[in-house]
Structure 1
Amino acid sequence: MSPAPAASASVSWRDLAPAPVILLLGPEDYLASRSFESVRRKMRETEPDVESVRLDAAQYEAGALIVLGSPSLFGGTKIVEARGLAQMSDAFLQDALTYLEDPAPDVVLVMHHSGGTRGKKLLDRLKAGKAVLVECQPLKKDSDKVDFVATEFRAARRRAEPEALRSLVAAVGSSLSELAAACQQLISDTEGTITAETVEKYYGGRVEATGFKVADAALAGRGGQALGMLRHALSTGADPVPLVAALAMKLRAVAKVYGVRGSSAQLAKDLGMAPWQVDQARREAQRWTPEGLNYCIQVLAEADAQVKGEARDPVYAVERAVTAISLGERADTPAAIRRAVS
């Protein structure tokens, strides 16, 4: 009985090297585009004249892949980039299955499937075979986005402070292409260590960054400063919704680590946070009582509902939440907080 085929090898898009068959799997187009680019760049390092051909799997015409896989009279390696596998035609599915039975030795076939069930038979064959698999999934956790920008700076041999990384993620948002572009701008326009002040200079006007400044001041007990920044942000057109979201994110981090024992590295792994986020949340947690923390979480939940339409005055809802959080670390009981914010 012949042995079962080896499972496909999974690698990070950053470590991707040319291989006979590569599958990029997932809806994050930015990671897929970086993967295609990485293969082209690494191939051209050894073969400057390598030919690159693109195929649209949705508009594919029968026989094209087989022709591209045929030996060339002039020799040399081809890169075949097949995109749109999530909408692949029946002809592409059949030809791809046939091609996998005997991949051409002088072809690097890179395919991107953004997700869904179309072409499941092909995906199963690729995963069970010797294809190299690159996961192109969206980065949903802020800790993953922080790791992403940290690696961008590290690849450019630039040092960035942890607070600068968090501020950049907060300021730029969730788009990986925008995060990467922001990193490249800071790399090209600045020198030395990238600090929170550097990020503030370039991206301090973003609403998300303002929200985290308010949250940092509130959790540190600097109520007057937090309210002053909040009112300035609101007066310049900031939306209360992301401001409340920033407050909630900071307070949730404190709640996650409150009373939990263990190393920063282990907690970071268990809680889906970066080690520096664990350390920061632990420092902030020392100033809270369980009762005050629980009450402020309730206040934030109410504020979240109110800024999303359940109250006529969303500004008051945000101010009340900021006041409660800034007092929460010092007040002995929830009743003391309630009296202060009522």
Structure 2
Amino acid sequence: MPASARRPATAKTRSAIPQLSWRSPQPAPIVLVSGPEEVCAERAIAGVREYLRAEDPSLEVTDLRADDYAQGSLLGVTSPSLFGEPRLVRVSGVEKCSDAFLAEAVSYLAFPQEGATVILRHTGASVRGKKLLDAIRAGEGGGVEVACPAIKRDSDRFDFAAGEFQAAKKRIAPVALRTLVSAFADDLTELAAACQQLISDVPGDITEQVVQRYYGGRVETSAFVVADTAIAGRYGDALIALRHALASGADPVPLVAAVASKLRTMARVAGTRESSVALAARLGLKDWQVDRARRDLSGWTEATLGMAIQAAARADAEVKGGSRDSVFALERLVTVIATRAPYGS
């Protein structure tokens, strides 16, 4: 199970009720779907609906908005119907709920309706509804919580994508997975859609060639492709990749950040003899990141790596306002890294 799918609640959201993965949610009288990651929240809510519909196709589904709430609605849609069909009520916008909804939802926890599942979606964007969340987390209403924390780090995105293929029992080559994640580093929704397209379209294992065929245009403009080609010493390819990225509207700041991130990882790994597993655990990295950094170090020395890191620091300052020509700053950085020599030498 990917780390991003099983991350426990933080101290701020510590809960006494069961914590479920958004990849494998289950119904309960109250299902609190918390956290800002909308892709994961949508999956969790859809998963509960599919679970209930598989048990009884006559499931009645109702949507309510907590911020535009008509008094009495919650009790009305959860009350048993004439034929006793199960009910699913999806409530959005709990982080901006009205006073009327808050009062009725807190009261509902004391007497949940039999046969009804109420999903409460709270993004965590505000403390509005805290009284309700605290009551649910204390165990009132017999609820469960599905946490959907933000996925921001590269390792979290890698775990997310790996989990997509693992859940579908689909094999993808590690280099193909990394290429895919790099191509959609800025948009988790698009990454999720790309994973699902490959899962549904490709009959066999997914290779790097498959990813290139489907998403080559995106891959070419990836900041990490610029970094990878420069670090590998492929000077011409690195400049072409950089120009593709800039022509596609890439921001110079994250381009430099991607290069600097890879160089820092190389520096942390350089000279160590620990196993990938042990070193990754000590440095807070993934095994594949350690293995990749060790491969990237081929041909580098302590002196050239130090020079590249200094060049990245200079470029970072320049693209953040220290220079009027950020493109030149990027080209100089790529030149220093790819040639492993001072600029102009």
- Please say if 1:24 is aligned against 2:33: yes
Please report the TM-score for the alignment, with normalisation by the length of structure 1: 0.87
- Please say if 1:297 is aligned against 2:306: no
Say how many residue pairs are matched: 328
Largest Rg, 1 or 2 = 1
CA contact (8 A) 1:52 1:79 kept: yes
- Please say if 1:68 is aligned against 2:68: no
Corresponding residue number in structure 1 for 2:5: none
CA deviation vs aligned residue, 1:124-160 (integer Å, no higher than 9, x gap): 1111214211112220111111111112122222211
Letter in 1 for 2:121: H
CA deviation vs aligned residue, 1:9-55 (integer Å, no higher than 9, x gap): 11111110111111011122222111111111111111001001111
CA contact (8 A) 1:208 1:242 kept: no
Corresponding residue number in structure 1 for 2:259: 247
CA contact (8 A) 1:158 1:187 kept: yes
Corresponding residue number in structure 2 for 1:122: 132
Letter in 2 for 1:175: D
Please report the TM-score for the alignment, with normalisation by the length of structure 2: 0.86
Out of 234-243 and 21-30, give the one that drifted further: 234-243
SS of structure 1 residue aligned to 2:79 = coil
Decide whether aligned partners of structure 1 residues 235 and 59 sit closer, same or farther in structure 2, where only a CA change above 3 A counts.
Answer: closer
Q: Distance in 1 between matches of 2:248 and 2:308?
A: 27
Corresponding residue number in structure 2 for 1:35: 44
* Superposed counterparts of 1:91-110, under 5 Å: 91-110=100-119
Cα distance, 1:295 vs structure 2: 2.7
Q: Distance in 1 between matches of 2:67 and 2:244?
A: 51
Decide whether aligned partners of structure 1 residues 233 and 180 sit closer, same or farther in structure 2, where only a CA change above 3 A counts.
Answer: closer
* Superposed counterparts of 1:1-342, under 5 Å: 7-115=16-124, 116-129=126-139, 130-206=142-218, 209-231=221-243, 240-260=252-272, 262-285=274-297, 287-328=299-340, 337-338=341-342, 340-341=343-344
Letter in 2 for 1:51: E
The alignment yields a C-alpha RMSD, in angstroms, of: 2.4
SS of structure 2 residue aligned to 1:317 = helix
Decide whether aligned partners of structure 1 residues 241 and 207 sit closer, same or farther in structure 2, where only a CA change above 3 A counts.
Answer: farther
Letter in 1 for 2:128: R
Identical-residue share of aligned pairs (%)? 51
Question: Structure 1 stretches of 5 or more lacking a match?
Answer: 1-5, 329-336
Cα distance, 1:319 vs structure 2: 2.2
Q: Distance in 2 between matches of 1:277 and 1:158?
A: 22
Q: Distance in 2 between matches of 1:272 and 1:285?
A: 19
Q: Distance in 2 between matches of 1:228 and 1:66?
A: 62
Cα distance, 1:287 vs structure 2: 4.0
Decide whether aligned partners of structure 1 residues 326 and 18 sit closer, same or farther in structure 2, where only a CA change above 3 A counts.
Answer: same
